[in-house]
């Protein structure tokens, strides 16, 4: 049975998993403005959820976390990302997620957040390859338990922990027979302080080819626009590119027909995004989460600084809409 990666065109793009950013509301807005006019024959955009705790999903209190796993059909294909370090809980979480309609499950082995690392998860797994292998097996077993053999298994990671470990870490992961490998072109130590080095992605592709495995290689790091992503695919030979911070305030990112967005259109989408956030997530997330998008939406036009200041004082979508309408002169 074909998996999601077999159904994609030769050149494809992915939306990165970002906590409190690529939530259900923002994904739906991106789907609305980027996934409608790109490729009618074959969808070339793959969405990721925010990362979700496998421990939490394997616990009685999983109901709250389930909110992070809602999605619309317009967002498909979509991958659910899990993090954790306990193989038994990872298996139970994967078994549950496999029943929700996702196209695959991704394991986070690259998050540098200290609270995640303290659990032995995220980038801490770069230093614990044996547990990394057990977690990959646990996800595969969980998918089997759910009888969903068409789901893909992937890993998102970095080129190393304190230094470049490509020659050891990447072959190890590829030997685990995963369907896709997403590589952030920095070490954990570098965080985002140094520019992503895409020569490392090229080397990852070479290692994959030398090993003669079919794993899709997806590069990630410092991609500012769609044209740049396309050029990086040509330069490195990777199968796809994942976009993270470049998507902030720009749900049109994947739509090549939208070269320049007028401030009025951007602000109207901000209101739409805010209303959707309140509808989908207002019952379990603080409204302050939505505000991190305002800086990205509201910039590079006259009065932007003052408008941002007003928006940061709001508490709900109604207040946001009133302020934007006033700024636009009642339009």
- Over the stretch 200-227, which tens digit does the pLDDT of each residue have? 999 999 999 999 999 999 999 999 999 9
* Least confident stretch, 115-129, 140-154, 188-202: 188-202
- When the pLDDT of each residue in the chain is averaged and rounded to a whole number, the result is 94
Print the SS3 string covering the chain. CCCHHHCCCCCEEEECCCCCCCCHHHHHHHHHHHCCCCCCCCCCEEEEEEEEEHHHHCCCCHHHHHHHHCCCHHHCCEEEEEECCCHHHHHHHHHHHCCCCCCEEEEEECCCCHHHHCCCCHHHHHHCHHHHHHHHHHHHHHHHHCCCCCCEEEEEEEEECCCCCHHHHHHHHHHCCCCEEEEEEEECCCCCCCCCCCHHHHHHHHHHHHHCCCCEEEEECCCCCHHHHHHHHHHHCCCEEEECHHHCCCCCCCCCCCCCCCHHHHHHHHHHHHHHHHHHHCCCCCCHHHHCCHHHHCCCCCCHHHHHHHHCCCCCHHHHHHHHHHHCCCC
Predicted pLDDT at 43? 77
Average pLDDT over residues 275-280: 96
CA 139, 104, 54, 163 dihedral sign is positive
Which band of pLDDT confidence, cut at 50, 70 and 90, is reported for residue 331?
low
Average pLDDT over residues 237-253: 95
- Could you tell me whether strands 45-53 and 78-83 are parallel, antiparallel, or unpaired per DSSP bridges? parallel
What angle (nearest 5°) sits at the alpha carbon of residue 73, between those of residues 67 and 61?
15
- Is residue 14 flagged as an active site residue? no
- φ/ψ of 157, rounded to 5, equals -145, -170
Residue where the block lists tokens 């379990």: 284
Which band of pLDDT confidence, cut at 50, 70 and 90, is reported for residue 1?
confident
- Over the stretch 283-326, which tens digit does the pLDDT of each residue have? 889 999 999 999 999 998 999 999 999 999 999 999 999 999 99
Predicted pLDDT at 287? 96
Does the structure show a pLDDT above 60 at 68?
A: yes
Does the structure show a pLDDT above 50 at 37?
A: no
Which band of pLDDT confidence, cut at 50, 70 and 90, is reported for residue 73?
very high
The larger pLDDT score, comparing residue 260 to residue 313, is at: 313
- Over the stretch 179-200, which tens digit does the pLDDT of each residue have? 999 999 999 998 888 999 999 9
Does the structure show a pLDDT above 60 at 40?
A: no
Q: What is the CATH code for 4-247? A: 3.20.20.70
Predicted pLDDT at 132? 98
Share of the chain above pLDDT 70, in %: 97
Contact 162, 187 (CB under 8 A): yes
Does the structure show a pLDDT above 50 at 41?
A: no
Share of the chain above pLDDT 90, in %: 86
**How far is residue 225's CA from residue 190's CA, in Å, rounded to a whole number?**
23
**How far is residue 98's CA from residue 40's CA, in Å, rounded to a whole number?**
27
Does the structure show a pLDDT above 70 at 42?
A: no
Q: Cα–chain-centroid distance for residue 187? A: 18
Residue 185 tokens read as 């072109």
Predicted pLDDT at 192? 81
Predicted pLDDT at 258? 83
**How far is residue 159's CA from residue 150's CA, in Å, rounded to a whole number?**
28
Average pLDDT over residues 30-45: 71
* Least confident stretch, 1-5, 93-97, 133-137, 138-142: 1-5
Average pLDDT over residues 105-114: 97
Kindly list the domain boundaries of the chain, sorted by start residue. Answer: 4-247, 263-327
Does the structure show a pLDDT above 50 at 38?
A: no
Contact 262, 315 (CB under 8 A): no
């Amino acid at each position: 049975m074909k998996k999601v990666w077999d159904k994609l065109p030769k050149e494809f793009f992915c939306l990165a998993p970002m906590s409190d950013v690529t939530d259900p509301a923002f994904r739906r807005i991106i789907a609305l403005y980027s996934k409608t006019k790109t490729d009618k024959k074959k969808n070339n955009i793959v969405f990721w959820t925010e990362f979700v705790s496998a421990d939490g999903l394997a616990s009685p209190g999983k109901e709250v976390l389930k909110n992070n796993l809602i999605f619309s059909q317009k967002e498909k294909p979509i991958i659910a990302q899990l993090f954790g370090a306990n193989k038994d809980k990872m298996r139970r979480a994967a078994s549950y997620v496999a029943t929700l309609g996702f196209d695959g499950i991704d394991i986070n082995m690259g998050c540098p957040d200290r609270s995640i690392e303290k659990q032995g998860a995220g980038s801490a797994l770069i230093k614990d390859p044996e547990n990394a292998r057990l977690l990959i097996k646990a996800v595969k077993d969980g998918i089997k338990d759910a009888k969903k053999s068409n789901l893909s298994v992937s890993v998102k990671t970095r080129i190393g922990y304190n230094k470049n470990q490509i020659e050891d870490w990447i072959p190890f992961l590829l030997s685990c027979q995963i369907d896709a490998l997403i590589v952030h072109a920095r070490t954990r130590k570098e965080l985002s302080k140094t520019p992503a080095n895409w020569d490392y992605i090229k080397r990852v592709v070479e290692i994959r080819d030398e090993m003669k495995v079919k794993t899709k290689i997806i590069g990630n790091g410092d991609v500012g626009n769609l044209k740049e992503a396309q050029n990086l695919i040509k330069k490195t030979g990777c199968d796809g590119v994942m976009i993270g911070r470049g998507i902030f305030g720009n749900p049109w990112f994947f739509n090549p027909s939208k070269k320049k967005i007028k401030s009025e259109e951007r602000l109207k989408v901000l209101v739409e995004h805010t209303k959707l956030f309140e509808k989908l997530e207002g019952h379990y997330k603080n409204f302050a989460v939505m505000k991190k998008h305002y800086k990205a939406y509201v910039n590079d036009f006259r009065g932007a600084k003052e408008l941002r200041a007003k928006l940061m004082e709001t508490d709900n979508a109604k207040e946001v809409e009133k302020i934007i309408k006033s700024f636009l002169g009642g339009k």
